[in-house]
Amino acid sequence: MTKRKQKRKQRRAAPSAPVETESQSATAITVFWTTTVLATALSQVAAGAARCVAMLLVDGQRLVLFSNLFLMLAAITGLLALILQPLMRRARSAPPPAAVSRLAVVISLSPMVLLCAVVLLSEK
């Protein structure tokens, strides 16, 4: 039997940890802002789903109350996201992409507009 020469694999250097350019406070406020925007969007989806199911049911009055509760929660978290956005932009060294910021503003403002519409339409 012949011995084959085995090629030794060169070991690659272990990847170094990514260099963080943002401070911990900037990262924390960015995560909090993102979470409030996401909570606003999910609360609006839950409010819309509850409202649609309430329309399909004969006695859907309780679901209308849940829909209004979710819409109020979305308005509160949306207001918090609007307050946090300028603070987050000031704390970060690089601002988030413009499209993300615009979408966050639209998501944050929409429950307040919907809440005003619900209040105006319910006063018949």
Which one is predicted more confidently, 52 or 15? 52
Question: H-type helices in the chain, by residue range?
Answer: 24-56, 61-91, 98-122
Question: Is residue 12 a part of any domain in this protein?
Answer: no
Residue-wise pLDDT tens digits, 97-124: 999 999 999 999 999 999 999 889 887 6
Residue-wise pLDDT tens digits, 23-45: 899 999 999 999 999 999 999 99
Question: Is residue 78 a part of any domain in this protein?
Answer: yes
Residue span of the structural domain in which 72 resides:
26-122
Question: Is residue 8 a part of any domain in this protein?
Answer: no
Q: Which structure tokens are listed for 38?
A: 């996401």
- Total domain count, the chain: 1
**Whole-number pLDDT of residue 1:** 61
Query: Which residues, other chains included, contact 54 with Cβ-Cβ below 8 Å and sequence gap of 6+?
Result: 60, 61, 63, 64, 67
Question: Is residue 64 a part of any domain in this protein?
Answer: yes
Average pLDDT over residues 37-62: 92
